[in-house]
């Protein structure tokens, strides 16, 4: 139940998102009824309020004939054929209130029939999306709501424009050509796969059908194709997130399977009228008989020249379906098993006796229970060996290196012994100390990654190792190697002085790091989340002038010092807030004489920051500038001066005031003479 609600919620949110960005959607279908051409229409309101108008006020369908290439929005609907669709309640009240389908419709439409005003946008969007989703896959829902119309008075070969009108809602339009009945594509590339023995996954391509409908009926039958048996009570609606590709295959998983039966499946696509019109070919898949048991090896032991494996099969209450047992062996725990013996099933207890000509053998054994359809269940591996006291040879050619993060990478050459189980790796900070083991598990890998601390006084670390066979015999130590640690000590940071502002320039000075292995210094400036590198140097530079500073902005300056081993240090930060008390003039402005209005139009671009107002200054014939207009609209970029006369010379300036009260400089004079 939770999965169904989640699916509805995801699809509902997607439908709301799509509907709110589009006007009323109208779809059409041309078909034959009793040899006569008819047109079917269906329309979908664009949001909750429009849908509520549709439910409570009904709608009107208008039709006129137009040319084949005419846009229906340009058609003249004066004298159009009109059909009034009554409000939803007129049809809902005629239904049997005791039927489950009627109760479902009443619940679906309750938010739209209620007189109270809905204030919760999330609830409105969800109710609207559920209604649109149900309407898009259900013929009956569309009829009751009153968003469908069948036009039986059309002529074949004509083109008609339809206008759908809902009170207080933008009209919907569609053009329909009646020359040919509407055809629908076939659903292609349906595949069936059996997953984990108990689930059939259906996959199909729906990219060619999405223009015609959104839902599907998934048919299933046993032994032979038979239509009318559906996997879901309601149409299946695929869910796809915004991160997934639009042309991704749709899929459905069926877990209600019958073993030993051939299952037939077919995908049936629904158009937006809720009609089954798109079909795939029937596909089939055989569900094999599975082994319903767990297999355990209880005892393994050596007896004289034989190896004995005894175990049991435990069922889960279902028939175990075991046809035979197979014994397999391998020298590796997880791979390369080979068949030793097969026994037909006679009892839940099994016993294998394997002859062995010599001692010192070591094998992993597995017992498989297999059904007549070759479904297989395996026991866990069980190890059998006879005592081997010969230690392996020691590993050779041990090599190692340490990087700047303290990561040690070791490699060596394995001995030629065939019964190795792994290696024990040892290290010490001094060759005279006791070596300690570094790895917790044995592995056959001939490489190892280790970590050591670099923040101590020792610059050396020693490594050696032993080989271990399957009987835990240890080889002699390999040769011991010395690995040197890298330099990881950061240099002494530089000392940055307090910045000083001179004539709109930030002057910075510092004392360089005294460390002797300095490779490069970087002067960086932080402005919010933006970090700029202003200068880099490796000499004795001690100052810099930052000319790219902006009034009203906080800056944070630092020096990064790195050495030749790529260790780095940061100086103490120096924070500065640059505020000169004014802002630069608007960057672009112009005055244009408008001959049609006999006025002067001023145009300018918006400055940086939140503007409170603009002030317009004017000068006549070279006289003194005076304030003519204050515009308290921070997004305004134009002003029209109608108080002008021919033969005069006018000059203008525009000045702005920020919300903080700081004034911008006036623009350059904009001169108009006519």
Q: How confident is the model at residue 19 (pLDDT cuts 50, 70, 90)?
A: very low
pLDDT at position 316, please?
A: 87
pLDDT at position 432, please?
A: 87
Q: How confident is the model at residue 20 (pLDDT cuts 50, 70, 90)?
A: very low
- Lowest-confidence pick of 146-150, 458-462, 542-546: 458-462
Q: How confident is the model at residue 11 (pLDDT cuts 50, 70, 90)?
A: very low
Angle between helix 100-113 and helix 48-57 axes, rounded to 10 deg: 110
> Distance between CA atoms of 344 and 167, rounded to whole angstroms?
79
Question: Smallest Cα–Cα separation from 295: which of 355, 377, 354?
Answer: 377
Question: Smallest Cα–Cα separation from 220: which of 274, 261, 277?
Answer: 261
- Lowest-confidence pick of 186-190, 242-246, 479-483, 547-551: 242-246
**What's the average model confidence in pLDDT over 159-167?**
96
**What's the average model confidence in pLDDT over 56-74?**
95
Place of tokens 């790195």: 562
Q: Tell me the β-bridge partners of 266.
A: 219
> What is the tens place of the pLDDT at every residue in 292-331?
999 999 999 888 888 999 999 999 888 999 999 999 999 9
Interacting residues of 270 by C-beta distance below 8 A, sequence separation 6+: 137, 213, 214, 215, 216, 217, 235, 276, 277, 278
Q: For the chain, first and last CA: distance in Å?
A: 79
pLDDT at position 1, please?
A: 35
Q: How confident is the model at residue 457 (pLDDT cuts 50, 70, 90)?
A: low
Angle between helix 100-113 and helix 121-137 axes, rounded to 10 deg: 140
Q: Is the pLDDT of residue 338 over 60?
A: yes
Domains of the chain by start residue, with CATH: 2-177 (2.60.40.10), 188-287 (2.60.40.10), 293-385 (2.60.40.10), 396-484 (2.60.40.10), 495-578 (2.60.40.10), 583-673 (2.60.40.10)
Do residues 220 and 231 touch, judged by C-beta distance below 8 A? yes
Estimate the share of the chain in helix, then strand, then coil, as percent rounded to the nearest 5. 10, 45, 45
Interacting residues of 26 by C-beta distance below 8 A, sequence separation 6+: 41, 42, 43, 44, 162, 164, 172, 173, 174
> What is the tens place of the pLDDT at every residue in 591-619?
999 989 899 999 999 998 899 999 999 99
Structure tokens at 287: 């569900």
Interacting residues of 211 by C-beta distance below 8 A, sequence separation 6+: none
Q: Is the pLDDT of residue 4 over 70?
A: no
Structure tokens at 162: 């339809």
Q: Is the pLDDT of residue 143 over 70?
A: yes
Do residues 138 and 274 touch, judged by C-beta distance below 8 A? yes
Give the β-pairing of 349-355 and 59-66.
Answer: unpaired
Q: How confident is the model at residue 22 (pLDDT cuts 50, 70, 90)?
A: low
Q: How confident is the model at residue 523 (pLDDT cuts 50, 70, 90)?
A: very high
pLDDT exceeding 90 applies to what percent of the chain?
A: 71
Q: Is the pLDDT of residue 169 over 90?
A: yes
> What is the tens place of the pLDDT at every residue in 366-420?
999 999 999 999 999 999 877 777 789 999 999 999 888 889 999 999 999 888 9
> What is the tens place of the pLDDT at every residue in 348-381?
999 999 987 666 778 999 999 999 999 999 999 9
DSSP H or E segment with residue 144: helix 139-145
SS (H, E, C) 98-143: CCHHHHHHHHHHHHHHCCCCCCCHHHHHHHHHHHHHHHHHCHHHHH
Place of tokens 């610059």: 459
pLDDT at position 458, please?
A: 72
Q: Is the pLDDT of residue 487 over 80?
A: no
**Cα 191 to chain center, whole Å?**
25
> Distance between CA atoms of 364 and 308, rounded to whole angstroms?
12
> Distance between CA atoms of 153 and 39, rounded to whole angstroms?
9
CA 508-514-517 angle, 5° bins: 115
Q: Is the pLDDT of residue 9 over 60?
A: no
Do residues 359 and 386 touch, judged by C-beta distance below 8 A? yes
Q: Is the pLDDT of residue 281 over 50?
A: yes
pLDDT at position 324, please?
A: 96
**What's the average model confidence in pLDDT over 42-56?**
93
Long-range contacts at 425-428 (CB < 8 A, ≥ 24 apart): 425/450, 425/463, 425/464, 425/465, 426/463, 426/464, 426/465, 426/466, 426/477, 427/452, 427/461, 427/462, 427/463, 427/464, 428/461, 428/462
pTM flag (> 0.85): no
Q: Tell me the β-bridge partners of 315.
A: 293
pLDDT at position 21, please?
A: 41
CA 126-127-130 angle, 5° bins: 85
**What's the average model confidence in pLDDT over 48-77?**
95
Give the β-pairing of 663-664 and 582-583.
Answer: parallel
Q: How confident is the model at residue 480 (pLDDT cuts 50, 70, 90)?
A: very high
Q: Length of the chain in residues, anyone? A: 674
Sign of the dihedral defined by the CA atoms of residues 339, 340, 343, 349, in that order: negative
Q: Is the pLDDT of residue 10 over 60?
A: no
Do residues 113 and 166 touch, judged by C-beta distance below 8 A? no
Q: Is the pLDDT of residue 127 over 60?
A: yes
> Distance between CA atoms of 505 and 535, rounded to whole angstroms?
15
pLDDT at position 209, please?
A: 85
> What is the tens place of the pLDDT at every residue in 248-262?
888 999 999 999 999
Question: How far is CA 538 from each of CA 101, 534, 662, rounded to the nearest angstrom?
Answer: 82, 14, 42
Q: Please give the order of strands across the beta sheet that includes 436-437.
A: 436-437, 420-428, 460-469, 481-484
Per the model's pLDDT, the better-predicted residue between 617 and 485 turns out to be 617
Q: Is the pLDDT of residue 17 over 60?
A: no
> Distance between CA atoms of 457 and 427, rounded to whole angstroms?
17
């Amino acid at each position: 139940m939770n999965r169904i609600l989640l699916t509805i919620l995801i699809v509902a949110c997607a439908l709301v998102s799509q509907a709110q960005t589009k006007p009323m959607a109208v779809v059409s279908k041309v078909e034959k009824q009793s040899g006569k051409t008819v047109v079917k229409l269906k329309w979908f309101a664009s949001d909750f309020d429009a849908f509520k108008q549709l439910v409570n006020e009904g709608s009107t369908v208008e039709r006129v004939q137009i040319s084949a290439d005419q846009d229906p929005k340009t058609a003249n609907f004066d004298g159009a054929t009109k059909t009034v669709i009554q409000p939803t309640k007129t049809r809902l009240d005629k239904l049997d209130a005791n039927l489950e389908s009627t109760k479902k419709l009443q619940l679906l439409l309750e938010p739209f029939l209620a007189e109270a005003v809905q204030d919760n946008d999330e609830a409105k969007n969800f109710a609207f999306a559920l209604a649109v989703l149900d309407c898009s896959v259900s013929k009956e829902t569309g009829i009751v709501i009153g968003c469908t119309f069948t036009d039986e008075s059309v002529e074949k070969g004509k083109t008609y424009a339809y206008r759908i009108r809902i009170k207080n809602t933008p009209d919907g339009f569609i053009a329909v050509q009646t020359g040919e009945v509407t055809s629908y594509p076939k659903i292609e590339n349906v595949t069936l796969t059996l997953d984990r023995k108990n689930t059939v996954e259906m996959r199909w391509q729906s990219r060619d059908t999405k223009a015609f409908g959104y839902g599907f009926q998934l048919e299933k039958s046993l032994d032979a194709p038979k239509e009318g048996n559906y996997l879901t009570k309601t149409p299946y609606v695929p869910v796809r997130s915004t991160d997934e590709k639009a042309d991704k295959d749709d899929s459905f998983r069926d877990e209600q399977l019958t073993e030993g039966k051939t299952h037939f499946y077919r995908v049936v696509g629904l158009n937006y009228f809720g009609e089954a019109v798109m079909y795939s070919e029937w596909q089939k898949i055989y569900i094999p008989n599975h082994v319903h048991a767990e297999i355990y090896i209880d005892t393994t032991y050596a007896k004289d020249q034989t190896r004995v494996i005894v175990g049991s099969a435990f069922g889960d209450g279902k028939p175990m379906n075991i046809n035979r047992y197979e014994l397999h062996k391998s020298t590796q725990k997880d791979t390369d098993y080979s068949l030793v013996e097969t026994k037909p099933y006679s009892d839940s207890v099994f016993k294998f006796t394997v002859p062995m000509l010599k001692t010192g053998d070591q094998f992993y054994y597995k017992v498989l229970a297999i059904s007549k359809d070759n479904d297989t269940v395996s026991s866990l591996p069980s190890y059998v060996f006879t005592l081997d006291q010969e230690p392996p040879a020691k590993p050779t050619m041990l090599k190692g290196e340490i990087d700047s993060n303290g990561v040690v990478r070791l490699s060596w050459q394995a001995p030629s012994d065939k019964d190795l189980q792994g290696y024990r790796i040892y290290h010490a900070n001094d060759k005279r100390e006791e070596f300690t083991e570094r790895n917790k598990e044995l592995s056959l890998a001939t490489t190892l990654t280790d970590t050591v601390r670099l923040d101590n006084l020792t610059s050396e670390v020693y490594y050696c190792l032993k080989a271990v066979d399957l009987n835990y015999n240890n080889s002699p130590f390999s040769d011991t190697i010395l690995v040197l640690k890298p330099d990881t000590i950061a240099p002494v940071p530089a000392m940055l002085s307090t910045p000083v502002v001179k004539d709109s320039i930030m002057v910075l000075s510092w004392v360089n790091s005294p460390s002797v292995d300095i490779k490069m210094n970087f002067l960086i400036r932080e402005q919010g989340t933006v970090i700029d590198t202003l200068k880099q140097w490796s000499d004795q530079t001690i100052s810099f002038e930052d000319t790219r500073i902006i009034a009203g902005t906080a800056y944070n300056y630092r020096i990064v010092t790195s050495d030749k081993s790529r260790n780095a240090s940061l100086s103490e930060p120096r924070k500065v807030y640059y505020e000169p008390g004014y802002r630069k003039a608007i960057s672009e402005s112009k005055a244009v004489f408008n001959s049609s209005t006999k006025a002067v139009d001023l145009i300018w671009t918006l400055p940086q920051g939140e503007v409170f107002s603009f002030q317009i200054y004017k000068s006549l014939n070279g006289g003194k500038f005076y304030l003519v207009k204050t515009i308290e609209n921070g997004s305004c970029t134009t002003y029209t001066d109608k108080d002008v006369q021919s033969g005069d010379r006018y000059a203008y300036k525009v000045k702005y005031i920020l919300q903080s009260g700081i004034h911008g400089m006036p623009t350059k004079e904009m001169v108009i003479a006519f």
